[in-house]
Amino acid sequence: MKGPPQEHHSQYTLDERACRMICPIAAATVGVCLTAIGILRVVIAMRRANTLADDLLALDSVLFLIATLTSYFALRNGPAKRLHELERVADVTFIAAMSLMTVVALVLTYALAV
């Protein structure tokens, strides 16, 4: 008999694949944010100017960390309902962090051009 159990399993597999993609990408992006903060602080010190970008990058690294942790815990064995909830949180925070990173790029472009 093919029916709802297979569809549920297919959905579980799809969610698991999304979490397996988000986890390493978000974790690596935390490092990118921290590296960018360090480089930005050097540039700010040399130019004796301040920008909001490093504060936004710090917030961005927290969002990426949340996406990393929620996708990691979604991959752990547990009920499918928990998987879907954690996977949703990972998706939302990952997209929010990527959007914020785009805003940071715009702020940096403007701040360093002046």
> Taking the mean position of all CA atoms in its chain, how far away is CA 68?
7
Sequence spans of domains, the chain: 4-113
Q: What is the pTM of this model?
A: 0.73
Where does the pLDDT of residue 13 fall: very low under 50, low under 70, confident under 90, or very high at 90 and above? low
Rg (CA), the chain: 18
Confidence of residue 67 (pLDDT cuts 50, 70, 90): very high
In tens, the pLDDT along 93-102 reads 999 999 999 9
CB contact set of 15 (below 8 Å; sequence gap of 6+) = 74, 83, 84, 87
In terms of Cα–Cα distance, which of 46, 43, 88, 37 is closest to 67? 88
Q: Find, among 50, 27, 69, the residue nearest to 114 by Cα.
A: 50
